[in-house]
Structure 1
Amino acid sequence: MKKAFLVATSFIALSLTSCKKEGNKGVIKTDTSQQVIVADDGKPDATIGYNVDVKGKKTIKTDYVYKATDGTLVKVVFDYNPENRNMTITNNNKTFVLDKSEVKTNQTTYEKADMKATVKGDSIIIRQGENIIELVKTKI
């Protein structure tokens, strides 16, 4: 009888003390904050696109396919690294890398030598010397 009483008392004491746990402190919490890239004026940059997965997690989309007014497809890759923000334009096995020169809330300008590209919404206007090339983002 004494053994049964000791076992029952021990079980109740363990149950009461184990219920006071506040969870596993060894579990690493995931960062739920979303990365937002801001323009030079301190507001979120509206020219940046995001991918959203099934769980609602946002990731920055970096590569797009644009279509020129003559129907030519152009691949554009944006690098949003804060130290080296640039864009790469690839067409007909030629690649041009333009460095960020100015960022506003709704417009970003990239330049290199005599080439200047202005990204605004779903369009890019490229100026190279006297030539002006207009690109529009495709749904591909």
Structure 2
Amino acid sequence: MIKKSILIVALPILIIGCKKNGNKGIVKSDSLEMITADNGKADSTISYNTDINGKKSIKTDYVYKATDGTLVKVVFDYKAKTVSIRSNNKTFILNKVESKGNETTYEKMDMKAKVTKDSLILDQGSNIIELAKTKI
């Protein structure tokens, strides 16, 4: 009988004592690092994802469509200042050369890519390919 009384008294104390307060050692940060153009202003070629809680993150991968219907995967690495362009099982990685805020240029050897908000133009000498961003 005494054991049951101790258990009945101790159980509510344990439940109240285990109240969930969260981990106070975690620092929340709602700030998102803004990527700027070479002129110091916001780069309009950058897009952002917003989750259901309203938190923003930088969108890095896109699918572009060429005028002939070919789909091209494009991934931007803003920290490394590169863009990788994948089509027909070939990947080309170009380095950022210049950013004007509304247009960013990437180059490597004879290949050049000019990126605006909704388009990407690849220039490979005499071969120019125009790509438009898809909604995929």
For the superposition of Structure 1 and Structure 2, which TM-score range results when normalised by the shorter chain? 0.7 to 0.9
Unmatched 5+ residue regions in structure 2? 1-23
Aligned match of 1:117 in 113, 117, 123? 113
Which residue is 1:55 aligned to? 53
Aligned match of 1:74 in 72, 75, 86? 72
Structure 1 residue 103 displacement after superposition: 0.6
How much is the aligned-residue C-alpha RMSD, in angstroms? 1.0
- TM-score normalized by structure 1? 0.78
Number of residues of Structure 1 aligned to a counterpart in Structure 2? 113
Q: Indicate yes or no: 2:120 matched with 1:131.
A: no
1:13-45 CA-partner distances (Å, limit 9, x unpaired): xxxxxxxxxxxxx55441121221111100011
1:95-132 CA-partner distances (Å, limit 9, x unpaired): 10000000111010000000000001100011001011
1:38-77 CA-partner distances (Å, limit 9, x unpaired): 1110001110111000111000111100000000000000
Q: Which has the larger radius of gyration?
A: 1
Supply the distance in 1 between the matched residues of 2:27 and 2:91 (Cα, whole angstroms).
41
Structure 1 residue 133 displacement after superposition: 0.2
Unmatched 5+ residue regions in structure 1? 1-25
Instruction: Give the AA of the match of 1:138.
Output: T
Instruction: Give the AA of the match of 2:88.
Output: N
- TM-score normalized by structure 2? 0.80
